Structures are given as structure tokens and as C-alpha cells.
Amino acid sequence: MEKIRWKIEEQLTAGQAPRSVRSLLHDQWLLPDRYIHFLRRRHHVLVNGQYRYMNERVAPGDVITMTFNGDEFRAPAANDYVPTVMPQLAVLYENRDLLVINKPQGEKSHPNEAGETGTVMNDVEGYLQGTNDGAYMVHRLDQETSGAMVVAKNPVVVPVLNRLISDGMIHREYLAVVSGQMQGRGVLDWPIGKDPDDKRKYCVAGRGAKPARTDYQVVATSPERSVVRLRLETGRTHQIRVHLAHSGHPIIGDPLYNCDGGSQMLLHGITQRLLLPFSFEKIVIQAPLPPYFHNYLVKYDLG
């Protein structure tokens, strides 16, 4: 007998447009073709408790049930993070499929080798111990960056969330304090690649450079420092840090891109504008500033 590892059940709303089962799964819910192949072949998608052919139509109020064994996913479905015992996790939002946490500055997002501990993913795995859920990576924040970070609780929604991020339907907004008097608003639009002189770093027009766009708006300024709100249009490694450094306004405290920086990097993921999988409800999640960040703004009258 097949072992069912994940079950997703959704009731279609009263405003649901009539469409085929396949169109619901592929076009509306953005499930990968591979998922749909297994759901069809195994009869693992039910409408009101009964299997229907992919070209049959669903209607408002129908209950859709999908079950997954694990081999449907291209990436391994087994999460092997060592759970943190009694994790100190600041959960900003949680539902059946995901959670958003307020990542502390100085903590890595994920392990880089088997058995490593002390990362956000270890913390989430510990938080979910005793449930049928686990921690699954969606996106990461640099170790020195704090703020809102999305973690999936099952592997079913990972490609859906990745698709929404890559299509610009999930927006991540950041707050940074930078050196110098930066002004106005605009777009930093420089391709980013690996720094040929330092394997830890990235740079504009570096090796293998890819397009990168960062929207910015200055919200407070003085001759020595400025507070900038930023939104990622792309998600290159170190994108905000590289773009701001290249503009002549590196982030205060950036250990890689600001040689005059302080002890803590002042970059915080302040807002997640999410579209929730399946319902596609829009929600806005705010991540409170860490005390050291808030205190810095007060100290220099930038709050």
C-alpha cells in the first residue's frame, strides 16, 4: 500500500470560474507539470471525494484533495536539518503551508554541510517537531541581514512560491542605513556577477554577470548617512549590498562591501508582500526592527 506523506485539501470559493481540473492545477494553482502527471496517473487528485478526468470541470464549492508520496518532487522531499531544541523563533505569520519568521542578524539561513546546526532552518525544524511538517527552503537572507524570511512547511508549495517570487508577484522590501547623503528614488539597474578578485564577494559586471534591478526610495537623510527603503525586482546574491556599494552609498556595518562599516550591518527585511499558495490571498507582513537598528536611527535622528 502506498504511503501518503502530504495531503492538501482546498474548497473552491463561490467566485471560482468554471474550468477543467488540469487548468485549475496548472494555470490557477501553478503546480508543475511533474506534479500533475503523478496526480493524474495515480488518481491522487479528487473532486468531492471522487477522481475526475483532467478535462472535466470543477465548480464553486467543490472540495479538491491532493495527496503526494514524495517521489513527485525533483528535489529530495526528506529534510535532513538537525532540529534545534527549544528554538527561539520569532514567527510573524503561519498557515498550513508556510511560515514567515523574523530572522535575527548574525544567524545563517541554512546549513552548508550535513549535520550543521545553529541556522534558521534548524530552528524551524525544531519548531515543527511533533507535527507532520518540516522546514523547506524558499529563499535565503545573508547571515548579517535580519528580517522577514519565508520557509515552506511542505515540499508541495516550494515551486509555487519560487514561481511567484521569480514572476515578481511576491515582493520583498528592505530598510537600510547607508553611508553618505543619498537622495530621491529610482532603480539601481546594474548586472551582478562574481568578483574575480575575491571569492567571497560579488560585483557589478563581474564574472557571469546577470541582470539585477533594485528599486530604492530615500526616506531620511543627513550629510553622513541615509535611510533607504528598497525592493528587489530580481534576487541575485548580495544584490542590495552590491548595488548600494557601487552607487557610492555602502550599507553601514557591511563587513564585505564597506571598509568603514560598524559592528552590525544595518540591512533589514522589513516587509513581505505575499500571495498565499492555492487561495492567492494577498497579505502584508511586517518584521519589527531589531533594537540595535532602532537605536541607531534614534541616535542619529533618522527615525
For residue 197, give its domain range: 171-270+295-299
Picking from 18, 34, 68, the residue at the C-terminal end of a domain is 68
Closest CA to 277 of 96, 17, 137, 141: 96
pLDDT at 262 over 80: no
The C-alpha atoms of residue 46 and residue 43 are separated, in whole angstroms, by 7
Amino acid at 67: T
CB atoms < 10 A from the CB of 269, how many? 25
The arithmetic mean of pLDDT across residues 259-263, rounded, is: 70
pLDDT at 120 over 90: yes
For residue 54, the domain's CATH number is: 3.10.290.10
The arithmetic mean of pLDDT across residues 261-284, rounded, is: 92
**Where do runs of H (alpha helix) occur along 53-175?**
120-127, 158-166
In the three-class reduction of DSSP (H, G, I as helix; E, B as strand; rest coil), residue 40 is classed as helix
For residue 176, the model assigns a pLDDT of 98
In a domain, 142, yes or no: no
Measured in whole angstroms, the distance separating CA 197 from the mean position of its chain's CA atoms is: 30
Longest dimension (CA), the chain: 70
Q: Between β-strands 63-68 and 50-51, what pairing exists: parallel, antiparallel or unpaired? A: unpaired
In a domain, 126, yes or no: no
The arithmetic mean of pLDDT across residues 129-149, rounded, is: 94
In a domain, 20, yes or no: yes
pLDDT at 221 over 80: yes
Q: Mean pLDDT across the chain, nearest whole number? A: 94
Residues forming a β-bridge with 57: 20
In a domain, 257, yes or no: yes
Picking from 68, 98, 121, the residue at the C-terminal end of a domain is 68
In a domain, 64, yes or no: yes
For residue 56, the model assigns a pLDDT of 97
For residue 75, the model assigns a pLDDT of 66
The C-alpha atoms of residue 6 and residue 99 are separated, in whole angstroms, by 17
For residue 77, the model assigns a pLDDT of 53
The C-alpha atoms of residue 147 and residue 173 are separated, in whole angstroms, by 10
From the candidates 97, 123, 133, 142, give the one annotated as an active-site residue: 142
The C-alpha atoms of residue 148 and residue 231 are separated, in whole angstroms, by 13
pLDDT, tens digit, for every residue of 165-196? 989 899 999 999 999 999 999 999 999 999 99
Question: Element (H or E) spanning 35, and its range?
Answer: helix 33-41
pLDDT at 261 over 70: no
Closest CA to 216 of 169, 257, 270, 176: 176
For residue 217, the domain's CATH number is: 3.30.2350.10
If pLDDT is split at 50, 70 and 90, which confidence band does 78 have? low
The arithmetic mean of pLDDT across residues 44-73, rounded, is: 96
Q: Between β-strands 57-58 and 19-20, what pairing exists: parallel, antiparallel or unpaired? A: antiparallel
If pLDDT is split at 50, 70 and 90, which confidence band does 1 have? very low
In a domain, 229, yes or no: yes
Picking from 20, 37, 68, the residue at the C-terminal end of a domain is 68
Q: How many domains does the chain have?
A: 2
User: Which pTM does this prediction carry?
Assistant: 0.92
Active site residue 260: no
Q: CA torsion sign, 17 to 23 to 29 to 30?
A: negative
All three cell numbers of 133, joined, read: 511538517
In a domain, 85, yes or no: no
pLDDT, tens digit, for every residue of 25-41? 999 999 999 999 999 99
In a domain, 89, yes or no: no
